[in-house]
Structure 1
Amino acid sequence: MAYAAQRDLPLDKLCHLSGIDLEALTSGEQVAIGPKQFNDLWLNACHLSNDPLFGLHFGESLQLAALGIVGEIIKSSTTVGQGVEHAVALTPLITDLFGMTVARDAHTFTFRLHPNHARRAASPFAFEQMAAFFLVFAVHELDGLILARVRPERVTIPFADHAFSELERVLRCQPTRSEDDYAITFDSKYWDMPILTANYALQESLLQKVNAATSGKPGSDSWQDKVQQYLMKNAYLGIVSLDEMAANFNVSPRSLQRKLKDEQVTYQELADEVRKSLALHYLETGGYYAKEISYMLGYNELSAFSRAFKRWTGTTPAGYQRNFE
């Protein structure tokens, strides 16, 4: 529902159509939501947003939330494999629509969803949306554990033809159509990688910055504020592209550019402002090399980051950081 609000869906209408008492829910009362209501909530969210891949895009928008969970896993794991096993064990705390297992062979490891058939029968539409959500979340988890954008080896999922290109974009891999198999496979080289405690510190630093930047900020109907907040919340390992941003709001890239132009700002200007804000935060916090910061902000070369930083501030990252030593 929070993501629905972010997508500008009318929550009162969404809840009414789904048979949920929004007033009771927001007042803190105990509200029981049954399988049919849960299924209708997903169905109506897709209908009102005109987005049949609502669950997929919901998972894509949760990079920051994924980091919070991954941060806890990092504290109790020494390798990526241990972190993956701990994450899989947490699945029943999130949903009873399916379980999740991880299996290994000589070359790969695979997350697979195992449907709870009774629950699936009661909430079939919710099952499909949650399955897509979990597969995307698995990608973000690997990203957070090794501080890199991971590309799966294979994704197996039932899907309609029109969804192919968007599944490929979000999951970073051409999907393989199946009758009833939901699985995502990664190269085994990641399994025994050590988890660096520095990863947790970097993630905590980003979470603190985003929380400080967005807490208490009143909601705004301006596209500039919506885009800037989404950029900030999804700035981990680079800045979201214009195409990705447009897909989240279910508009075309050209339409989004036009909406921003009407507010006298460009997407590039907003992206640069977020990069600058995060760069200053990392340098002021201390303990991070310019090369690390450059990579976190999505620059392929340190020289490109240094040029951008000098354009923003008139000095180099190293020169700026010396002021806080």
Structure 2
Amino acid sequence: MNPQAQLALALFAYAAQRGVAPARLEKLAGVRVAELQAPAPGPLSAKQWQDLWLNAAHLTQDPLFGLRFGEAATPAALGIVGQLIQSCPTVGAAVTQAAALLPLLTDYLRLEVQRSAQAFTLRFRLTAAGQAAPPEVFGHLIDFLLMLVVHELDGLVLARLELRAVAYPPAARWLPDHGRTLRAASAREGQPGEYVLEFGGNYWDVPILTGNYELQAALLRKVDELRAAQPAVGQLRDKVAGHLLANSYLGLPSVEKLAANFNTSARSLQRQLRAEGTSYQDVADAVRKTLALHYLQARAHPLKEVSYMLGYNEFSAFSRAFKRWTGSSPARYRTAGPA
């Protein structure tokens, strides 16, 4: 499947998580999911792409749809990230190859990578096609790409990469949610038509999560199976569980971060979950338990890494939770299997 079709399918999937009926988005955008899933899907026209972004944002009533989509995107949904996992041993190699692969996703931007001893810089530069694109459409796309870079680099190394600086063109939109997701209090004014992310040079040679792509692909397929087994999305708890499963590769977020991705407040999210007889903690624990059992049965990651992947800062906290779920310690369960 080509990367553009995968991106479009990922957009449909995320919009569905946000409560948008796929059939309605299909009709408004003139794009059929079945055609995207065909063995050799044809390219989407510029109008189809524009209508996808605009209608997804309209139906979710979210002017920052692109940013939240980038924050929620998963390697399973974007094959281009899978290519990076398969072929790149380090962060530097991954971002270098990503620059070469970006034209497969969009012709609105090109990505340039610059490196010095102190930092490496990713520069997204507008092309002529990007300059001609409707501003709202381009806004969603650049939000998506910038957030995707930060989000996926975090996941590929299981660490929180700190940005040294962010630069936006003069008069470009910068809102509190940009600061939250890009982890920058503000963006400095950069050159016209140029968006910049600058990372510390120490990250360049950091190994990505695993060189065993087949193993990682198997884990991602398992996550897809678990999501498919969830009840049809209707109640908020089902949407939250689906989101957590979809993003489990990158650890489970705090309730504040998840609420922001649903374009609501943590208090409002918790209130709606209480009305359904549950809480964020209950839903997160159920997802953690399901994933913990799978990761331990796969015997592919050290126990401390499994703990981190599930969002525990301390292994002791994971061990206590696992014993509460199963009556066994993680080490004993991995050795002996279910009691």
Normalised TM-score (structure 2)? 0.84
Q: What residue in structure 2 maps to residue 277 of structure 1? A: 290
Q: Distance in 1 between matches of 2:59 and 2:291?
A: 34
Q: How does 1:86-165 map to 2 (within 5 A)?
A: 86-157=97-168, 164-165=175-176
Q: What residue in structure 1 maps to residue 279 of structure 2? A: 266
Q: Specify the code of the residue in structure 2 equivalent to 1:260.
A: L
The SS at the match of 1:153 is strand
Q: Distance in 1 between matches of 2:278 and 2:171?
A: 37
Shift of 1:316: 0.9
**Aligned-residue CA RMSD (Å):** 3.0
Q: What residue in structure 1 maps to residue 8 of structure 2? A: none
Q: How does 1:237-252 map to 2 (within 5 A)?
A: 237-252=250-265
Which deviations, in whole Å up to 9, do the C-alpha atoms of 1:235-281 show, x marking residues without a partner? 23421221222222222222221221121111101111111111111
Of the candidates 8, 16, 36, which is equivalent to residue 5 of structure 1? 16
Moved more, 314-323 or 239-248: 239-248
Shift of 1:181: 2.6
Shift in alpha-carbon separation, 1:118–1:163, aligned structure 2, 3 A: closer
The SS at the match of 2:175 is helix
Which deviations, in whole Å up to 9, do the C-alpha atoms of 1:103-144 show, x marking residues without a partner? 112211111111112343143322121111111111133223
Shift of 1:314: 1.4
| Alignment of 1:213 onto 2:226 | yes
Q: Percent identity?
A: 48
The SS at the match of 2:277 is coil
Q: Specify the code of the residue in structure 2 equivalent to 1:45.
A: A
Q: Distance in 2 between matches of 1:72 and 1:24?
A: 24
Which deviations, in whole Å up to 9, do the C-alpha atoms of 1:278-300 show, x marking residues without a partner? 11111111142211111111212
Which deviations, in whole Å up to 9, do the C-alpha atoms of 1:173-203 show, x marking residues without a partner? 2231535431111111111234464564663
Q: What residue in structure 1 maps to residue 52 of structure 2? A: 41
- Structure 2 gaps of 5+ residues are 1-11
The SS at the match of 1:261 is helix
Q: Distance in 2 between matches of 1:192 and 1:289?
A: 22
Q: Specify the code of the residue in structure 1 equivalent to 2:301.
A: Y
Q: Distance in 2 between matches of 1:197 and 1:156?
A: 31
Cα contact 2:96–2:113 (8 A) shared by 1: yes
Q: Distance in 2 between matches of 1:27 and 1:305?
A: 39
The SS at the match of 1:102 is strand
Shift of 1:232: 1.0
Shift of 1:14: 4.3
Shift in alpha-carbon separation, 1:202–1:172, aligned structure 2, 3 A: farther
Q: What residue in structure 1 maps to residue 3 of structure 2? A: none
The SS at the match of 2:120 is strand
| Alignment of 1:204 onto 2:243 | no
| Alignment of 1:299 onto 2:312 | yes
Q: Distance in 2 between matches of 1:63 and 1:160?
A: 31
Normalised TM-score (structure 1)? 0.87
Shift in alpha-carbon separation, 1:79–1:37, aligned structure 2, 3 A: closer
The SS at the match of 2:301 is coil
Q: What residue in structure 2 maps to residue 62 of structure 1? A: 73
The SS at the match of 1:315 is coil
| Alignment of 1:171 onto 2:172 | no
